[in-house]
């Protein structure tokens, strides 16, 4: 008798809307499970369907929302992996669109943790076979997942298509990297939209979330500026960068960020920043609450991208086709 390995989608409570959207893109139903908490806060998980021998994908960004915090989301992910491993599944892939603690990826001073490495070790020790994430803060984090393949999806195509639909004069657009670490993202986006050139902002940071000074490398006068970054947290640095570009002669400033953490008072800051015309985020983190606070937010869904990755991984196909090289464009 021929046995086929069913594909299973399992979701925690971090981003149920994204999980449901991915399931619709794959024409599947989410596997029934209860992810609840005891009265004292301990997590209680029950998979309500037989998953023996199945190919399971856990859709759980490690992010908080109105109902859970980031650490609860991480614990749900770990226990879901553990539960599935005890249920004799064939393969477990953790789909983590937003990977928490990624900003702590190295020791910058004495007596501090490398938290990204610790979280990666916890996930792999639970028994995952593969990890899928979206726009890691630092690509080298993939190396923390020892003996576990990591797929880092890039939403540059989604941002590029959005920019092209804006009917901008691409010869008068510059892509802005808000720091040296964002130059690669800026180059990918610039190549896809055929931007005039890339501008880098140099920052002197006194501590996390606080910038002492900024300066640009490159001309922005008379151009539409598109800032590209991996995340927006409190929004202070972003708004300061927008004001700097406006003061230097930019005719318009638009920002793109994959992960909208948007910790208060980020929404209010974006709303009050006259230099920023629009902030484009993805739904790797739930944005319904933030959109109700700030009319400048536009949210693009990464569900089709994640669904294509899941489908290709399940059928053991290459993922390279998801990221075709741009046919033309300026650097």
Alpha helices in the chain (DSSP H): 16-25, 70-86, 115-126, 156-164, 183-193, 236-247, 266-272, 288-293, 303-314
Sheet holding 297-300, edge to edge: 210-217, 197-207, 173-177, 224-232, 252-260, 278-282, 297-300
Q: Which residues contact 36 (CB under 8 A, 6 or more apart)?
A: 43, 44, 45
Q: Is 327 a catalytic residue?
A: no
Contact present, 47 and 87 (Cβ < 8 Å): yes
* Strand pairing category for 278-282 and 297-300: parallel
Catalytic-role residue among 121, 203, 252, 296: 203
- All residues at 6 or more sequence positions from 18 whose CB lies less than 8 Å from its CB, including other chains: 59, 61, 97, 283, 284, 286, 301, 302, 303, 306
Q: Which residues are catalytic?
A: 203
């Amino acid at each position: 008798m021929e046995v086929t390995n069913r594909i299973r989608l399992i979701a925690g409570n971090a981003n149920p809307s994204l999980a449901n959207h991915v399931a619709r893109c794959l024409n599947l139903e989410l596997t029934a499970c209860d992810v609840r908490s005891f009265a004292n806060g301990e997590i209680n998980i029950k998979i309500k369907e037989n998953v023996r021998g199945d190919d399971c994908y856990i859709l759980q960004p490690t992010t908080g929302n109105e109902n859970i915090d980031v650490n609860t989301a991480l614990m749900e992910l770990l226990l879901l992996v553990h539960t599935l491993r005890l249920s004799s599944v064939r393969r477990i892939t953790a789909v983590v669109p937003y990977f928490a603690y990624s900003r702590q990826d190295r020791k910058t001073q004495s007596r501090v943790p490398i938290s990204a490495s610790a979280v990666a070790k916890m996930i792999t020790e639970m028994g995952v076979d593969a990890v899928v994430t979206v726009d890691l803060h630092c690509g080298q984090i993939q190396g923390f997942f020892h003996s576990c393949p990591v797929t880092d999806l890039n939403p540059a195509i989604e941002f590029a298509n959005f920019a092209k639909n804006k009917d901008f004069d691409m010869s008068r657009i510059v892509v802005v990297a808000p720091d040296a670490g964002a130059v690669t993202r800026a180059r990918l986006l610039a190549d896809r939209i055929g931007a005039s050139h890339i501008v880098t902002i140099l920052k002197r940071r006194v501590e996390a979330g606080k910038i002492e000074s900024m300066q640009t490398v490159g001309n922005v006068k008379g151009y539409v500026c598109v800032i590209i970054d991996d995340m927006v947290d409190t929004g202070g640095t972003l708004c300061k960068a927008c004001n700097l570009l406006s003061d230097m002669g930019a005719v318009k400033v638009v920002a793109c960020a994959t992960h909208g953490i948007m910790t208060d008072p980020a929404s209010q800051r974006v709303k009050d920043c006259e230099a920023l015309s629009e902030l484009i985020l993805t739904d790797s983190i739930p944005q319904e609450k933030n959109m109700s606070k700030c009319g400048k937010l536009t949210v693009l869904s990464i569900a089709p991208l994640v669904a294509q990755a899941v489908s290709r991984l399940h059928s053991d196909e290459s993922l390279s086709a998801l990221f075709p090289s741009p046919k033309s464009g300026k650097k």
